[in-house]
Each structure stands twice: as structure tokens, then as C-alpha cells.
Structure 1
Amino acid sequence: MSLLPMLSVVEIVAERVLLRKARDADRARLVELRTDAEVAAYIGGPRLREDIERYLDAIGGAANATDAPGTFVIADKATDELIGTFEIKCRAPDQPGRVIEGGEELELGYLMRRDAWGAGLASEAATAVLRAAADELPDQPVLVVTQTANQRSLRLAVRLGFRTVSTFEQFDAEQTLLAAALHSFTVG
């Protein structure tokens, strides 16, 4: 159990995206997102549709998929359709890749539908969440961990201001650990 305070905000509005809690109407797009082979290429591959459907049923529906603090659906602001998911959470203590020995750090993670790639929407969503977190939480390291082969995610992290700290092996692939100070995202 983490002792870190977590982000309490449940909705964040940006220019083109809305970060909000999931709704049952998001179910089909959540399933598509998690079963898309290209989207899941660097997170262990796509999940089986039946597994995602079973998981959503087990948690009481798609509306419960973002119950955890700091977990959001990324919705197109104009249409309110799900284009991705985003989370800022405490990195599990048993995971490799740390900047504080034995510490707890925040970690970003996101998935975007292929039809949303290349438009800067992931950057906009990440910036909005990081600014909200910087306004609410104490300064602390924030991590991004991604497969080194995932050049799109690495470029996004660098554009956001994250710097490479190290690499390590996990899930049969080299992972890159990037970090930034949370309060470097404070506005003003």
C-alpha cells in the first residue's frame, strides 16, 4: 500500500482532450484499445477480447475501469469519444527502475487508439495531468518506463521534459527509465 498522496481530481479539461472517468458507453472502445496489436506492441501484446470483456464484467462494467485515483479515459473534447487511457500512479515497489532507493515514485502510463496517433493528443493529455498533479501533490520524481524500442513514447517523454536515467531488462526486453521533477510542470 502506497503512502504517497494520490491525485484526487476526477476530470481535467485541456484544449482538445478531456480526461475523465470511464462510462459504460466507453466499453466498446476500451475493448478495441486493449485488443489492438499495434497499440499493445510494447506492453506485452494485445489481450484477447474475451479476457477484456470478462474483466470489465468482473469489475461491474466499463464505468468502473477508472475507479483508481489518477486513472482516466482520454476523450476527444469535441465528441466525448474515448481515444485512450491515462494513469499517474505509484510505481509498484517490487518493480525495477527507481530513482529513489526503496522509494515510491509516481509513474505515468497511457494508451492511445491508433486513429489518435500523431496529432499531439497524448502530449496534451500528459501535460494536463502533470500540471494538475503538480498543483495538488508534493514535489517528487515522476517516472516514465517504456520499452527502448518504443521510440514514439521515448520521444514524447523527452518532449515533455523527462530525461533518461537508465535502462534495464524486464519482460524480455530492454526498458528505458526516464524521470522528471513533478513541480517542473507547475504553470506560472
Structure 2
Amino acid sequence: MTDLGPVPWPPEPIRTGRLVLRESEPRDRPAFIDLASSPDVHTYLGGPQPRDELERTLPAVPGQWPGSFVVELDGAMIGQILLRRATEHRPAAVGKVDLGYLFLPQAWGFGYATEACTAALNWFDSALPGEPVVLATQTANTTSMHLATKLGFTELERFHAWNADQWLGLRPPTKPSA
């Protein structure tokens, strides 16, 4: 099971100080191709996908499923936030919701990932209160590990998979409001 369960989807767009988190639209397809074909974005994710293959195979509206948020800045997609149930992961993660994020290189270093992930996690806490969230990243990806710590994830374990050392973090569930 990879879905989020009984969550109405898509939610209303989520607005932060600078960003909008929303459902994917046809105009986002070029940015999805840029994300998936970027060697920089996929340094720690097994490498980029061939651009020509993406052009042929990517649907007209990519990333359109519950838990997939487009991150928009000034009307343009700069990244994606993913919330999905872990199915084939470490035993400590299976069944929990896994947070993932991808941002175009030109959006790096401005705090957009922190802002967008915080907004997505706040939405998640209100949509599915009392559920923990996990996050996995390569230990070599120190920027991602730093972001995970900033977002409240603590280390559950380290392990070796996909030909690299990995870090698995847990963000404990928030207490449902009475």
C-alpha cells in the first residue's frame, strides 16, 4: 500500500510565505523532466533518467497522485514533495509514511526545501494526526540529513542499500488535538 488512506485529495493549495504546494498540472511537465533528468538532483538517487526517454514516456500530467505536491515559486514549479507509505523499505519504515523531496538545482540554498517540507508535514499532521513519518537518505547527502534534523527527524538506523550507506530517520507522531 503506497497511498495515504482516507485523505481527501487533492487538498486546497497550501500557501507559505513564498511558496505554493499544489497538485500537478500539465504546465509542470517540463519541470518534472528537468528534475528526473538532472545529474545534480539524482547524485544520491541512482543517477538521472535519459531526457529523451522521459520526453516519450512521462504522462501529460506527471506526479498526479495522493501525496505528491508540486512546489511552486512565482508561478513556476521548482520542486516536488512526496508523502507515500513505505512498502519495500527497512522493517522500521514499512507502513509508515515516507517523506521525499526533489528540488531543481537553481532553487537550492534559499530555504525552499525547509519551507515546503514544513508546510507539507503540517498538512500531514492535520490530515492524519498521530502518524509518524520516516525519511531515508544517503549518509553522503549531508544537506538532506541536515534538513531532516531541522524538520524533527531523529536517526532510527543506518544501513547499506543501493550500493551506498543510508540513513533512516523518524519524526514522531504529533499529538492529535483534543
Q: TM-score, normalised by structure 1?
A: 0.86
Residue pair 1:7, 1:70 contacting (<8 A) in 2 also? no
CA deviation string 1:101-120 (max 9, x = no partner):
xx510100010011111111
Q: How many residues align?
A: 175
Change (3 A) 1:120 1:97: farther
Change (3 A) 1:105 1:155: same
* % identical equivalent positions: 33
For the residues of structure 2 that align with 1:39 and 1:176, how far apart are their CA atoms?
A: 18
For the residues of structure 1 that align with 2:2 and 2:80, how far apart are their CA atoms?
A: 22
Q: Name stretches of at least 5 consecutive residues in structure 1 with no aligned partner.
A: none
Change (3 A) 1:2 1:26: closer
Residue pair 2:96, 2:133 contacting (<8 A) in 1 also? yes
Residue pair 1:74, 1:82 contacting (<8 A) in 2 also? yes
- Asked if 1:69 corresponds to 2:66, the answer is yes
Residue pair 1:133, 1:182 contacting (<8 A) in 2 also? no
Residue pair 1:34, 1:46 contacting (<8 A) in 2 also? yes
Aligned 1:1-188 pairs, distance under 5 A: 1=1, 5=5, 7-8=7-8, 9=11, 11-56=13-58, 59=59, 61=60, 63=61, 65-76=62-73, 79-92=74-87, 94-96=88-90, 98=92, 103-183=94-174
Instruction: Please tell me the residue identity of whatever aligns with 1:168.
Output: F
Q: Runs (4+) of structure 1 moved beyond 4 Å?
A: none
Change (3 A) 1:7 1:88: farther
CA deviation string 1:140-185 (max 9, x = no partner):
220010011000100000011110110111111011000012317x
Change (3 A) 1:87 1:10: farther
CA RMSD of superposed structures (Å): 2.0
Q: Which has the higher helix share?
A: 1
Following superposition, the deviation at residue 4 of structure 1 comes to 5.3
Q: Name stretches of at least 5 consecutive residues in structure 2 with no aligned partner.
A: none
CA deviation string 1:66-93 (max 9, x = no partner):
22111011110xx21010011111011x
